[in-house]
Structure 1
Amino acid sequence: MNRTVLSAVLGTGLLAAGCSQQTEQDASEMVDRAAQDAEANLDVAGEVIEEGAIDAADSVSEGAANLRDSLEAGDEEEPGPAPVLGDDLGS
């Protein structure tokens, strides 16, 4: 296994050494462009995630407001004495 890896590394090095200056320059430019593309894609993904988080926060806020309104609408009685202890909960 080690010999296989070593052969692959040496073979790649020999191929790279045999490349023309233009080929090396083209490969370097390709790597630079790929890095720029990756960075641009990350920026877009970050924006999409941010917009999704904002939408989720809005939905949670709306749901919490609806729950509060529902609880307030159903709360028509005043607290009285506790059933077990008899303590007045309204004071």
Structure 2
Amino acid sequence: MAGVEEIRAGIAVATEKAQAGIAAITQAALQLDESRSALMMATQGSGQPDVAQAYGLLAEALQTLAAAQATVHASITAAEGYSVRL
């Protein structure tokens, strides 16, 4: 079994990579938000169901990304809590 310092080092690497994942999710969310805004501007006043569906799906994707960020953050918190207790 790995020693305490090796475990802490491994957790530090894992949390660093998870933070990078959160940053990537943030970038993806920004791109999708820009896409949603562009769609709204381009289709303003349209009553077409496809437009409403596309807008709704982009909003759903943004919510999913926000949930993923929260889950990853919770994972980081749990891992860091374990590291502190070692």
TM-score by length of 1: 0.46
TM-score by length of 2: 0.48
